[in-house]
């Protein structure tokens, strides 16, 4: 398995429900970021959490980071149809290399009306 | 404030031809990254460049692929003698000077290469 694996691979929920996606990684990190990608489009940065942070909020998004378990979760509350997209976690390493990120395989979220 | 600009958005090439993908970073950004996304997969790092320098090309295939970021003009990802397996979305990203881990990097909309 590779650095940054999301779970589940696919998630289908009803509008208004919460969506939780998990990400596991292998090596030590400096930070972890979550991105959204609509079909056929580029990546939109959602949130960055540093290795010394445990939880971060941004609007309807809540991200947690557990470095002891090498895992992170993304919670989207009160989901909307417009949240339908693929969500990726990406880790930034401790060594040099600027902001080289390692991406997971993504969770495809579908929010139905 | 324009974001990361990539062109072309879509490119079709026959096997054996060359593909050139361009990327203009966000204003004020001097660090450029190229990633490749195969169908139904996540993004894979290819190369990290600063102006006139390749900093990390650990993700670049050994042959046929090259990248540059000249002093003037956009960054170019060049794929020579394309094969069907090169069909993918190629994303460029940029970040501000300093390049310390923890800065957000901003992605372009991608260039979709189809090799026929």
Q: A50 — contact with chain B (CB < 8 Å)?
A: yes
pLDDT above 90 for A27: no
Instruction: Please state whether beta strands A107-112 and A101-103 pair in parallel, antiparallel, or not at all (unpaired).
Output: unpaired
Q: A102 — contact with chain B (CB < 8 Å)?
A: yes
Under the banding of pLDDT at 50, 70 and 90, the label for residue B19 is very high
**Mean pLDDT on B42-57:** 92
Which residue is listed with tokens 């320098």?
B53
Q: Report pLDDT for B97.
A: 76
Q: Poorest-confidence range of A22-31, A92-101, B50-59?
A: A92-101
Instruction: Please give the mean pLDDT across all residues of chain A.
Output: 89
What letter would DSSP give residue A3? S
pLDDT above 80 for A15: yes
Q: How many CA atoms lie within 13 A of B4 on its CB side?
A: 30
Q: A1 — contact with chain B (CB < 8 Å)?
A: no
CA distances from A29 to A4, A52, B103 (A): 11, 10, 14
**Mean pLDDT on B72-83:** 97
pLDDT above 50 for A1: no
Structure token pair of residue B4: 């990361």
Distance of CA A69 to the CA centre of its chain: 16
Q: Report pLDDT for B98.
A: 65
Q: Report pLDDT for A98.
A: 57
**Mean pLDDT on B89-113:** 83
Spatial distance between the Cα atoms of B57 and B49, rounded to a whole number of angstroms:
8
Closest among B63, B64, B32, B35 to B49, alpha carbons compared: B32
Spatial distance between the Cα atoms of B99 and B108, rounded to a whole number of angstroms:
18
Write out pLDDT tens, residues A54-72.
Answer: 999 999 999 999 999 999 9
Q: A88 — contact with chain B (CB < 8 Å)?
A: yes
Spatial distance between the Cα atoms of A72 and A4, rounded to a whole number of angstroms:
10
Residues in chain A: 113
Q: Report pLDDT for B53.
A: 93
Residues in chain B: 116
Contact A71, A51 (CB under 8 A): no
Instruction: Please give the mean pLDDT across all residues of chain B.
Output: 91
Q: Could A94 and B101 be called an inter-chain contact, meaning their C-beta atoms sit closer than 8 Å?
A: yes
Q: Which among B42, B56, B109 is the nearest to A103, CB-wise?
A: B42
User: Which residues contact residue A41 at a Cβ distance below 8 angstroms, ignoring those fewer than 6 apart?
Assistant: B109, B110
Under the banding of pLDDT at 50, 70 and 90, the label for residue A29 is confident
**Mean pLDDT on B15-21:** 98
Which residue is listed with tokens 């204003």?
B27
């Amino acid at each position: 398995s590779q650095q940054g694996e999301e779970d589940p691979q696919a998630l289908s929920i009803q509008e208004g429900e919460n969506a939780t996606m998990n990400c596991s990684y292998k090596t030590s990190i400096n930070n972890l970021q979550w991105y959204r990608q609509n079909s056929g489009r580029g990546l939109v940065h959602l949130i960055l959490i540093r290795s010394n942070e445990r939880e971060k909020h941004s609007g309807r998004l809540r991200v947690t980071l557990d470095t002891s378990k090498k895992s992170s979760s993304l919670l989207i509350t009160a989901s909307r149809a417009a949240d339908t997209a693929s969500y990726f976690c990406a880790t930034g390493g401790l060594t040099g290399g600027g902001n080289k990120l390692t991406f997971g395989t993504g969770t495809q979220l579908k929010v139905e009306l | 404030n324009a974001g990361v600009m990539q062109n072309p958005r879509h490119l079709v090439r026959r096997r054996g031809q060359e593909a050139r993908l361009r990327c203009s970073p966000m204003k004020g950004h001097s660090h450029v990254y190229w990633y490749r996304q195969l169908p139904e997969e996540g993004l894979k790092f290819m190369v990290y460049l600063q102006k006139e320098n390749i900093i990390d090309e650990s993700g670049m295939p050994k042959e046929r692929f090259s990248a540059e970021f000249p002093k003037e003009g956009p960054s170019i990802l060049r794929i020579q003698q394309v094969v069907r397996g090169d069909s993918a979305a190629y994303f460029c990203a940029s970040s501000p000077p300093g390049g310390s881990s923890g800065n957000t990097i901003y992605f372009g909309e991608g260039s979709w290469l189809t090799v026929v």
